[in-house]
Amino acid sequence: MRNIIDKQLWQEIISAVSFSGEVTFMEPMKAHTYLQIGGPADVFACPQDTVSLENILAALNEERIPFVTVGGGTNILVKDGGIYGAVISLKNFRRSDIVKEEKDMLLLFAESGMPLQKLVSFSKERGYSGIEGLAGIPGFLGGAIAGNAGAFGYSIKNALVSVRMLNPDKGIYEMSPDNIGKLGLEYRASKLPEDTVVLSANMRFRKDIKEDVAKRTNSFLKRKRETQPLSEMSAGCVFKNPEGASAGRLIDEAGCKGMRIGNVEVSRMHANFFINKGDAKASDFLKLMDEVKKKVVKVFGAELEPEIRIMGRDVNR
Ligand SMILES: Cc1cc2nc3c(=O)[nH]c(=O)nc-3n(C[C@H](O)[C@H](O)[C@H](O)COP(=O)(O)OP(=O)(O)OC[C@H]3O[C@@H](n4cnc5c(N)ncnc54)[C@H](O)[C@@H]3O)c2cc1C
């Protein structure tokens, strides 16, 4: 399949609008995913500011060129044929600011490229409660909102007061406390439309005893380190937990730990993590997902749904 967007077309698009930021062509997505898997994106653009982002999305929309947004790339599997169109990275959107600080609470503004762990550390150091359970979850704030990241009974949803977004048709708009429910943030899911970019959010944290917040944050992190292969190349949990069950336990008890296709292996530490053992292919990752799903259906009759986001095209299309 021909690339939809090449240097010349991009130059035409970009010269017509004001844009500052970095742009690369045929950018290997394996360099931008925690899994280190994924073929090239036709264009990989990292706008420097909101105006550049707005302009580029409007131009892509006009040219009918598809785009996807990425944050830290910690929850995505990009197929081996790469991504047709543009990938927009929010890595330059890292501003944060204290909006209001009162005796018992803090209102914090942060842009979507803010690493989630910076927020967790900030809360811990200042003694604010609300996101302790997110300790150790990699990626950015925008990605955490898009998938309502969470663990140990905590989720980013509970801290959110409002979310600012950008859509090529609607422009910039805000989901306020009155209508934030429309974002549909549920267990590892949101109703965020594909063409909508999370720009920033306001979050509220509750003042607590600093030592208690630190203790909880450290103990969640310790549990995570003891049970998950955090230093290996993965995308976190591959499948969502079915109602009332743990996907990891089902996969384990169906005998899948250590199963391997190509260079992708079901982690021996946590069966819901699939590991890139080195230079793995997305096609093997997908085959392994299929095999594991089949085994779990056979043994337990339970249908596993992916938690990771799968994007891009196969090689031979
Ligand atoms: C070792 C490890 C442990 C993990 N543990 C957990 C855990 O305990 N709990 C948990 O919930 N997750 C966990 N994850 C998964 C992942 O870290 C989270 O889902 C994280 O919040 C994803 O953020 P990201 O910025 O990396 O998003 P990405 O992976 O870049 O993107 C994920 C999705 O969000 C969309 N997206 C990203 N940014 C934006 C934006 N600004 N606007 C609109 N859409 C956007 C993308 O298009 C994509 O569909 C883990 C992952 C790893 C590798």
Name the residue among 142, 145, 101 with its Cα closest to residue 123.
101
The reply to whether ligand 1 has any atom less than 6 angstroms from the CB of 199 is: no
Q: What kind of fold does domain 96-227 have according to CATH? A: 3.30.465
Ligand 1 centroid to 128 CA: how many Å? 23
Helix %, strand %, coil % for the chain, to 5?
30, 30, 40
What per-residue confidence (pLDDT) applies to 8?
Answer: 86
87 pLDDT higher than 90: yes
pLDDT band at 11; cut points 50, 70, 90: confident
Which of 75, 87, 226 to mutate for ligand 1's pocket (most ligand atoms within 8 Å of CB)?
A: 75
Does domain 7-89 match CATH 3.30.43.10? Answer: yes
Q: What angle do CA 40, 43, 48 make, to 5 degrees?
A: 125
Strands 160-167 and 83-89: unpaired
Domains of the chain by residue range: 7-89, 96-227, 247-311
Is the pTM higher than 0.85? yes
Residues sharing a CB contact under 8 Å with residue 63, sequence separation 6 or more, in sequence order: 9, 13
The reply to whether ligand 1 has any atom less than 6 angstroms from the CB of 272 is: no
Residues in the chain, total: 317
pLDDT 10s digits, 88-113 = 999 999 999 999 999 999 999 999 99
pLDDT 10s digits, 29-72 = 999 999 999 999 999 999 999 999 999 999 999 889 999 999 99
pLDDT 10s digits, 124-146 = 999 999 999 999 999 999 999 99
What per-residue confidence (pLDDT) applies to 7?
Answer: 81
Ligand 1 centroid to 103 CA: how many Å? 32
Name the residue among 80, 73, 85, 30 with its Cα closest to residue 313.
80
Does domain 247-311 match CATH 1.10.150.20? Answer: no
The reply to whether ligand 1 has any atom less than 6 angstroms from the CB of 75 is: yes
pLDDT band at 177; cut points 50, 70, 90: confident
CA distances from residue 307 to 247, 264, 304 in whole angstroms, order as listed: 10, 17, 9
